[in-house]
């Protein structure tokens, strides 16, 4: 369903008992709410939770910002390396405002907020900006954005920034690109079933394919910079989950968050990369379903 939030239209999936403890799930760069697998959602609902998934702005079925154009990623990256300001059509704080707007529209005062990757960066903003609205915080495979932290390899960066061929949108071509990317950054110890993997990628592309939105979100991440100064303002009980073998956001980022968020707990999973493998869904459900 579409919800008016923070002045824009956000696609929302709301499941579970209306009186259940609300859990807001925020996905990462270019990812859709379906990036949180339906099976995992069912596990969480079975625990009595009200599970709310959203398409971030410029992704999935939420409002896009095509009028802002497609940013020059190379120029934005150069400015970042030169410690110059990076200008973005919107900020991660704006996206945090979208999430609060969804909670407002649903009549939810406080929620357990879980963000993965870029979603975890948005969740950090939420917990720091409006601590009274965040009952618990779960940060999955994400980072403070500190420059001192290890960065992804050149190979991983190249795959992430792989240019789409000009011309008409081709589902099969995009599915192959996504499969290459997620095979590279995915969990080495938890490889997906090939047929299910392809079907999941194809379903995602058919639901929405928005490469210029991915570029605008990426510039927002780059422009956001180092969130370290905000971490001391996070007061919600915080649990950090990260793969020991994450090649996109190396695990040092999780240890950094753990050291800087007072009272936080850390769960590093051997063999996990930058994805949500099916073999670990029960473990994720247990972590997210704790009272």
- Residue 67: pLDDT above 70? yes
Reported as a single tens digit per residue, the pLDDT across 230-284 is 999 999 999 999 999 999 999 999 999 999 999 999 999 999 999 999 999 999 9
pTM of the predicted model as reported, rounded to 2 decimal places: 0.95
Separation CA 204–CA 127 (nearest Å)? 29
Instruction: Return the pLDDT at 12.
Output: 98
List the chain domain ranges.
2-150+211-288
Instruction: Return the pLDDT at 164.
Output: 56
> CA torsion, points 16, 98, 56, 160, in degrees to nearest 10?
-130
Range 34-56 burial, b when 16+ CB lie within 10 A, else e = bbbeeebbebbbebebbbbbbbb
In order of 21, 34, 44, 125, the CA distances from 93 in angstroms are: 25, 23, 27, 6
Question: Do the Cβ atoms of 227 and 124 come closer than 8 Å?
Answer: yes
- Residue 137: pLDDT above 80? yes
At the topology level of CATH, where does 2-150+211-288 sit?
Rossmann fold (3.40.50)
Reported as a single tens digit per residue, the pLDDT across 105-114 is 999 999 999 9
Q: Which residues contact 167 (CB under 8 A, 6 or more apart)?
A: none
Reported as a single tens digit per residue, the pLDDT across 142-198 is 999 999 999 998 889 888 877 654 445 688 889 999 999 999 999 999 999 999 999
Instruction: Return the pLDDT at 158.
Output: 86
């Amino acid at each position: 369903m579409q919800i008016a939030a923070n002045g824009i239209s956000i696609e929302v999936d709301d499941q579970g008992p209306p009186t259940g403890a609300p859990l807001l799930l925020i996905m990462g760069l270019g990812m859709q709410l379906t990036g949180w697998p339906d099976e995992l959602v069912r596990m969480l609902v079975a625990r009595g939770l009200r599970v709310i998934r959203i398409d971030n702005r410029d992704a999935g079925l939420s409002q896009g910002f095509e009028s802002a154009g497609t940013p020059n990623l190379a120029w934005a990256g150069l400015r970042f390396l030169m410690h110059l300001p990076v200008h973005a059509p919107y900020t991660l704080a704006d996206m945090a405002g979208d999430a609060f707007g969804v909670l407002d529209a649903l009549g939810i005062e406080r929620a357990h907020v879980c963000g993965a990757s870029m979603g975890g960066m948005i969740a950090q903003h939420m917990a720091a900006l409006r601590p009274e609205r965040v009952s618990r915080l779960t940060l999955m495979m994400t980072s403070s954005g500190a420059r001192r932290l290890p960065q992804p390899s050149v190979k991983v960066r190249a795959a992430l920034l792989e240019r789409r061929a000009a011309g008409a949108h081709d589902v099969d071509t995009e599915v192959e690109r996504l499969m290459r990317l997620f095979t590279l950054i995915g969990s080495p110890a938890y490889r997906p079933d090939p047929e299910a993997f392809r079907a999941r990628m194809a379903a995602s592309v058919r639901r929405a394919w928005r490469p210029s939105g991915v570029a605008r979100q990426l510039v927002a991440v780059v422009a956001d910079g180092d969130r370290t100064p905000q971490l001391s303002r996070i007061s919600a009980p915080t649990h950090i989950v990260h793969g020991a073998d994450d090649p996109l956001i190396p695990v040092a980022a999780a240890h950094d968050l753990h050291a800087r968020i007072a009272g936080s707990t850390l769960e590093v999973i051997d063999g996990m990369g930058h994805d949500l493998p099916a073999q670990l869904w029960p473990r994720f459900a247990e972590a997210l379903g704790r009272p």
